[in-house]
Amino acid sequence: RVCWFVIKLILNELVCLVPAEDIIQESGIKKARVGENVTLQCSCQDDAITFFFWYQQTLGGKPQMISNRMMHKQDAEITSDFMKRFEVHGTGRDNNLTITNLQLSDSATYFCGVLLFSAVEFGDGVFLHVQASLTPLQAVVKQQTQKHFQDGDLIDLSCTIYAQPCAEDQDQSFYWFRHSASQPAIVYPSTGQCAKLSDDSSVKNCTLSLRVESASSSDTGTYYCALASCGEIIFGNGTRVEISALSLKRENAQNSQILVVFLSVALVFTSTLVVLLGYSVYTMTNRRKCKCTEYCSNCTFRVVHLCFYLCIYLHFIVKE
């Protein structure tokens, strides 16, 4: 049993991870109108998968399972909340989701997932934007078309929304939606600073901002500014964010700054060392001088005494 358990763990490590690129799913924003039917396509090229899944995640909500289907079966199991208008058409490696009679509440991100042993992997996700035929929400979203940043920069995006609420007591929510070819769809909740254009107008001017610290290549993508109100979502045209590596000039400038700091520290250290060495030499010289003076004084005293006694001795000899 122990051997079988170890073998199973090794097999899981070797084959249970499905690369995200093996899951082929629509991405970005897919637009449709209320009452229409839409099909979201998904397939996986890995032969070892055992189950297919579909998940729905509304703005600000948690992912909810829509369906699950075994690889070699056509029929899928639909959860109770989605049984009326959601259907899954599965044949082998394909697992397509069809939503009939679209409602505004169907606006959400839809993720296709697969299971292989104990590992689950998801596609990038597609945001289904359901628009009303005659919308009570009048809004205009303005944002920059493109912005360039370098590695390590602060990504600072902003957009302006001019909106006329469909009801005075209707709540408004603001979001940033990021779409990237190499990364899953990400939704950032945001807070908008809103003010009326004038006392006579019900139109509000709302400013949204998004800040991302320490930009890297994984932050590359298109960022959409969005307003959710009256059961509907209004998107901007998106700001394309490009992240490039540090330029040679900037890198050299940073290296020069580091070199200046290093040399300054080395200069302070060397100066301190010279002062300490000078003080040590001065102290040692004084000690030797004192010892020498004391020794010389003693020698002089002894010589004088010797001369005195010698003179007395010679005096007595001369007298005799």
Q: List pLDDT tens digits, range 72-131.
A: 888 899 999 999 999 999 888 899 999 999 999 999 999 999 987 778 889 889 999 998
SS3 315: helix
SS3 121: strand
Would you say residue 10 has pLDDT above 80? Answer: no
The pLDDT score that the predictor gives to residue 203 is: 80
The pLDDT score that the predictor gives to residue 311 is: 52
DSSP bridge partners of 157:
210
Share of the chain above pLDDT 90, in %: 23
Among the CATH numbers 2.60.40.10, 3.30.450.370, 3.40.50.720, 3.20.20.10, which is that of 12-131?
2.60.40.10
The pLDDT score that the predictor gives to residue 229 is: 81
d(CA 82, CA 63): 13
Q: Where are the domains of the chain?
A: 12-131, 138-245
Would you say residue 250 has pLDDT above 90? Answer: no
* The amino acid at 68: N
Give the domain 138-245 fold. Immunoglobulin-like (2.60.40)
d(CA 97, CA 83): 12
* DSSP category for residue 47: T
The pLDDT score that the predictor gives to residue 37 is: 96
Average pLDDT score over residue span 174-196: 79
The pLDDT score that the predictor gives to residue 302 is: 52
Residue with more model confidence, 188 or 38: 38
In this chain, the answer to whether the domains covering 12-131 and 138-245 adopt an identical fold is: yes
Would you say residue 303 has pLDDT above 60? Answer: no
The pLDDT score that the predictor gives to residue 9 is: 38
